Amino acid sequence: MRNDLVEITTICPDVENSQFLVQSSCPDTIPEILKCQSAAENCSSIIYQQRSLPSIKILGTGGTIASKAVDSSHTAGYHVDLTIQDLLDAIPDISKICEIEYEQLCNVDSKNINQDILYKIYKGVSESLQTFDGIVITHGTDTLSETAFFIESTIDAGDVPIVFVGSMRPSTSVSADGPMNLYQAICIASNPKSRGRSVLVSLNDQISSGYYITKTNANSLDTFNVRQGYLGNFVNNEIHYYYPPVKPQGCHKFKLRLNGEDFKLPEVCILYAHQAFPSSIVKLVADKYDGIVLATMGAGSLPDEVNQACMELTVPIIYSKRSMDGMVPVANLPRNDSKGHNIIASGYLSPEKSRILLQLCLVGNYTPEEIKHVFTGVYGG
Ligand SMILES: NC(=O)C[C@H](N)C(=O)O
């Protein structure tokens, strides 16, 4: 229905930028939030809604993006050497896009990320959620998918985008990819269209879901291919999202206690299966660990003898897969009426993500039935 008193005209085709004009013949009809001080005194004036720049928190953890090699021709054999301040010095001026605060949580290759660091990242993100419009985390790409999965599984970010970013080339290399990836990560975190999308990853002009991402190539710039599809893309540093905001299907959220000293994840080990894979290794590991993830051959295939041994054990055992794509369906599990209730299908989850999900279930003392229920979110269980 037309309202003659107030007319709102979008001046930017992107409505989510929320810059619009309000024309009014009566001040009472103007919503309080749209009034700006000088114009509020003049009831017939055009009022332009002022928005302050989004405030972005950057958390530095290290990785290749913060590394230096011996010279510009080397893309291997480098070491972590740059702080988050150094990384910010290498990107174009962002003062018109957002206001930035940063914190160096650690400075390590992501192979050295352990549960203490994971917890630091968790804490850094949780605390920043209260005061910032977006969060960027610089991280090595080798285990980025694990941290991103952990954060997605433990933090309800509401509308605040949490953007992970890394690089495949060290900062010293010709055509280093880090500065552009970081610049784009900050653009993603600052953009209103990123709100409600939870954990995202910025790499090689692509925007992906932190929950689904997998490192698919040990060397290439385009390493984060995802079967579930990219969410968006950059062209000339403009963001083009392909879908409206969406969060991963079936992602179980765990609430962690924020008590640093006590934070300890149960020990879960991943075993990589192969021809002639011995059942003795599974039994050995079951004695020492709280849970096991098996990277099975195909969609849950293991030698019969290993299946038999797994059914005799009581520790939870997740059947995941060596193949990067595809899934392990429940129908392929070795279970009978009395045995095999400790065996759970990973669904679409990779071994490393299955491990984190099992750790989180075990930290919450979930029963095998509850663990199965959690894994049904990714069509496992
Ligand atoms: N591209 C990278 O970031 C790999 C590096 N080894 C890391 O994960 O820290």
The DSSP secondary structure of 333-358, one letter per residue, reads S---SSS-TTEEE-BT--HHHHHHHH
pLDDT at residue number 51: 61
Which atom of ligand 1 lies at the shortest distance from residue 64's CA? 3
pLDDT at residue number 48: 39
pLDDT at residue number 40: 35
At 89, the amino acid letter reads D
Report pLDDT digits (tens) over 175-204.
999 999 999 999 999 999 999 999 999 999
Whether residue 64 lies in the annotated active site: yes
Give the H/E segment covering residue 21: strand 20-24
Which atom of ligand 1 lies at the shortest distance from residue 167's CA? 1
Distance 109 CA to ligand 1 centre (A): 6
Report pLDDT digits (tens) over 243-297.
999 889 899 999 987 665 678 899 999 999 999 999 999 999 999 999 999 999 9
Residue of 65, 117, 141 to test ligand 1 pocket, by largest number of atoms within 8 Å of CB: 141
Which atom of ligand 1 lies at the shortest distance from residue 108's CA? 9
Give the CA distances from residue 208 to residues 223, 322, 325, in Å, rounded to whole numbers and listed in that order: 12, 22, 16
Phi (first) and psi of residue 103, to 5 degrees: -150, 135
Cβ proximity of 110 and 140 under 8 Å: yes
Q: Does the CB atom of residue 177 touch ligand 1 within 6 A?
A: no
Which atom of ligand 1 lies at the shortest distance from residue 65's CA? 3
Choose the catalytic residue: 61, 141, 143, 296: 141
Q: Does the CB atom of residue 168 touch ligand 1 within 6 A?
A: yes
Q: Does the CB atom of residue 291 touch ligand 1 within 6 A?
A: no
Closest C-alpha to ligand 1, atom 1: 168
3-state DSSP assignment of residue 194: helix
Q: Does the CB atom of residue 307 touch ligand 1 within 6 A?
A: no
Residue 20 reports pLDDT greater than 90: no
Give the H/E segment covering residue 147: helix 144-154
Q: Kindly state the average pLDDT of the residues 148-152.
A: 98
pLDDT at residue number 263: 82
Q: Give the rounded percent of residues in the chain with a pLDDT score beyond 70.
A: 86
Distance 164 CA to ligand 1 centre (A): 13
Q: How far apart are CA 286 and CA 289, in angstroms?
A: 5
Q: What is the rounded average pLDDT for all residues in the chain?
A: 88
First to last CA, the chain: 51
Give the CA distances from residue 52 to residues 8, 23, 38, 194, in Å, rounded to whole numbers and listed in that order: 20, 22, 17, 17
Q: Does the CB atom of residue 64 touch ligand 1 within 6 A?
A: yes
Q: What angle do CA 224, 225, 230 make, to 5 degrees?
A: 100
Strand partners, 209: 200
Q: How far apart are CA 292 and CA 277, in angstroms?
A: 15
Q: Does the CB atom of residue 109 touch ligand 1 within 6 A?
A: yes
Q: How far apart are CA 262 and CA 366, in angstroms?
A: 19
Which atom of ligand 1 lies at the shortest distance from residue 169's CA? 1
Q: How far apart are CA 328 and CA 308, in angstroms?
A: 18
For tokens 């174009």, name the residue: 92
ipTM of the complex: 0.98
Own/partner pairs, 253-262, CB within 8 angstroms, 24+ separation: 253/153, 253/154, 253/155, 253/156, 254/153, 254/154, 254/360, 254/363, 254/364, 255/154, 256/122, 256/154, 256/363, 258/123, 258/126, 260/119, 260/123
3-state DSSP assignment of residue 281: helix
Q: Strands across the sheet with 46-48, in order? A: 6-10, 20-24, 46-48
Q: How far apart are CA 341 and CA 349, in angstroms?
A: 19
Distance 335 CA to ligand 1 centre (A): 39
Phi (first) and psi of residue 88, to 5 degrees: -70, -30
For tokens 């021709």, name the residue: 73
The lowest-confidence range among 31-40, 54-63, 272-281, 331-340 is 31-40
pLDDT at residue number 226: 85
Report pLDDT digits (tens) over 212-244.
999 999 999 999 988 888 999 999 999 999 999
Residue 104 reports pLDDT greater than 70: yes
